[in-house]
């Protein structure tokens, strides 16, 4: 027995050594510097064994090697490249989209809820996205704004009737608002018990950074081959509840035969029209309840916690800077006075200082810290003339650019004026991308902006905010993709708007 254990140990160590040397030689041959720490698993070993967000390890590499066009990272049977030069990042995310249109995660067959436009690739992704994009046009958002507005008003009633919610743990409270708003506006879910919804618990659980989810995330990122072999699935435990709920919503909408300008309307229309057909490739997809439920699942988990993160970050920075908080509240009061205490899509969209503060908060604390891609055909990155083979996994920065003084002067200081109409032209497109960039930019970006700003408007009209930074200073919690502020909280105090 001892001999067997010893033999296996030696074999594993040999495989680790060979894999590490292969990774290093692979990138040395391409004249790309290689990150020597953990030559096989890259930064994933540190992520799994330490209590820090994944992006913080990328940020450390960025600060050390930012003069390099890209850095090779360890990967198990999967070449992995961290692309840092802005021209190369632009090339990956936009200019050479046909070579880098893969999201970087390959879903297992049978992982039904993972079959959504976030994780789909190729022609399937293009076909489904084309059919869902109409949900988020300006016309649709104007039509559904009344639902978002009603959710914000209901949220204020909840805070008024439950004053204990004003004193800390505000991120969870904001998540309940986002859950209610997207549940109503996208799925047509009514407001009864909406702030205590099982959908919210599901959204929180989907990417909770627990041990199992972290291992799955790491396996999917380190090696597509191993992930496929192990048949890793992400969301199977939510299938019965969520698919069943969406089936019920679609059936009820068909019976009601009314238009509510939401996702359920699109589901009914797609199923009525029959197969989705891509004329270029000939690909055909049946809009089954399961396929549509997967898209709804994406809208839900992407629309709750990331949006709550953006609202929370904005409130944190405004609470730290009372002079800017006052400006935002004055703008909100003026808007209610001028518009007979009513809000609509255009009024929200035209609140300039709120927009400046919101964008600056997302610059400092973007909901998502980095982007991933997979190369689908052999190509070359222009800066450094770096050969990238099909199958290479790519990381590109977001948080790093947002905090680089080359892109933003004094980047650790909250300065909403960066995004004023007079200054916004100075910001390079590639240096600010809280919702991503290129053809795979977040499809619900405009909805998320509208939902977040509406929540902020009603909240800051009725309350003022105080930021509480706990002992040890503001940090980030351990997350896979997200930028989640930690060791900081908010308290709300009632205020009387000037319009009353």
Instruction: Report CA-CA distances (Å) from 6 to 10, 16, 20, 26.
Output: 6, 15, 21, 30
Instruction: Compute the Cα dihedral for 424, 429, 434, 435 and give only its sign.
Output: positive
Q: Measured between alpha carbons, how far apart are the two ends of the chain, in Å?
A: 81
For residue 442, say whether it is annotated as part of any ligand binding site: yes
d(CA 207, CA 31): 36
How many angstroms from the chain centroid is the CA of residue 322?
28
Q: Exposed, middle or buried, 496 (CB in 10 Å: 0-12/13-18/19+)?
A: exposed
Rounded CA gap, 118 and 103, in Å? 8
**Cα 394 from chain centroid?**
17
Please list, residue by residue across 2-25, b when 16 or more beta carbons sit within 10 angstroms of its beta carbon and e when fewer do.
Answer: eeeeeeeeeeeeeeeeebbeebbe
Q: Which residues 6+ apart lie within 8 Å of 283 measured at CB?
A: 123, 124, 127, 277
Neighbours of 251 (CB within 10 A): 13
Whether the CA torsion 383, 389, 391, 392 is positive or negative: it is negative
117: which 2 tokens?
A: 């436009």
Structure token digits, residue 56: 């913080």
Binding site: what residues are annotated? Answer: 442
Binding site for heme: what residues are annotated? Answer: 442
């Amino acid at each position: 027995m001892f001999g067997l254990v010893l033999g296996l140990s030696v074999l594993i160590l040999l495989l680790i050594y060979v894999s590490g040397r292969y990774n290093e030689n692979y990138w040395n041959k391409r004249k790309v510097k290689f990150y020597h720490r953990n030559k096989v698993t890259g930064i994933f070993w540190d992520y799994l064994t330490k209590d820090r967000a994944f992006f913080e390890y990328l940020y450390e590499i960025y600060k050390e090697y930012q003069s390099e066009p890209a850095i090779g990272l360890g990967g198990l049977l999967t070449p992995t490249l961290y692309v840092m030069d802005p021209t190369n990042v632009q090339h990956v995310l936009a200019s050479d989209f046909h070579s880098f249109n893969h999201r970087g995660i390959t879903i297992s067959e049978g992982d039904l809820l993972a079959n959504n436009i976030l994780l789909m690739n190729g022609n399937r992704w293009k076909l489904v996205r084309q059919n869902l994009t109409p949900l988020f046009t300006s016309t649709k958002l104007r039509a559904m704004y009344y639902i978002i507005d009603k959710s914000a008003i209901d949220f204020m009633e909840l805070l008024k009737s439950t004053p204990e919610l004003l004193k800390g743990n505000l991120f969870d409270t904001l998540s309940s608002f986002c859950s209610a708003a997207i549940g109503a506006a996208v799925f047509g879910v009514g407001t009864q018990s909406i702030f205590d919804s099982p959908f919210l618990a599901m959204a929180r659980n989907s990417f909770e950074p627990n041990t199992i989810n972290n291992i799955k995330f790491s396996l999917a990122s380190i090696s597509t081959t191993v992930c496929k072999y192990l048949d890793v699935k992400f969301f199977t435990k939510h299938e019965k509840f969520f698919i069943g709920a969406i089936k019920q919503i679609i059936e009820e909408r068909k019976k009601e035969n009314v238009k509510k300008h939401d996702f359920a309307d699109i589901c009914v229309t797609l199923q009525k029209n029959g197969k989705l057909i891509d004329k270029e490739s000939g690909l055909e997809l049946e809009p089954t309840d399961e396929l549509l439920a997967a898209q709804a699942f994406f809208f839900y988990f992407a629309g709750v916690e990331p949006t709550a993160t953006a609202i929370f970050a904005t409130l944190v920075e405004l609470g730290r800077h009372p002079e800017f908080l006052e400006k935002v509240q004055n703008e909100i009061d003026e808007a209610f006075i001028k518009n007979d205490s009513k809000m609509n899509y255009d009024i929200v969209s035209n609140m300039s200082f709120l927009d400046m503060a919101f964008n600056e908060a997302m610059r400092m604390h973007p909901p998502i810290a980095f982007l991933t891609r997979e190369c689908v055909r052999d190509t070359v990155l222009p800066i450094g003339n770096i050969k990238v083979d099909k199958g290479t996994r790519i990381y590109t920065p977001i948080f790093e650019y947002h905090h680089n003084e080359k892109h933003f002067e004094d980047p650790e200081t909250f300065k909403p004026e960066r995004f004023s109409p007079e200054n916004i032209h100075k910001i390079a497109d590639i240096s600010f991308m809280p919702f991503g960039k290129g053809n795979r930019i977040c499809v619900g970006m405009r909805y998320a902006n509208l939902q977040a700003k509406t929540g902020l408007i009603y909240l800051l009209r009725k309350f003022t905010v105080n930021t509480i930074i706990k002992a040890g200073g503001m940090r980030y919690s351990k997350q896979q993709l997200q930028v989640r502020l930690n060791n900081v909280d908010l308290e709300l105090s009632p205020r009387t708007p000037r319009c009353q």
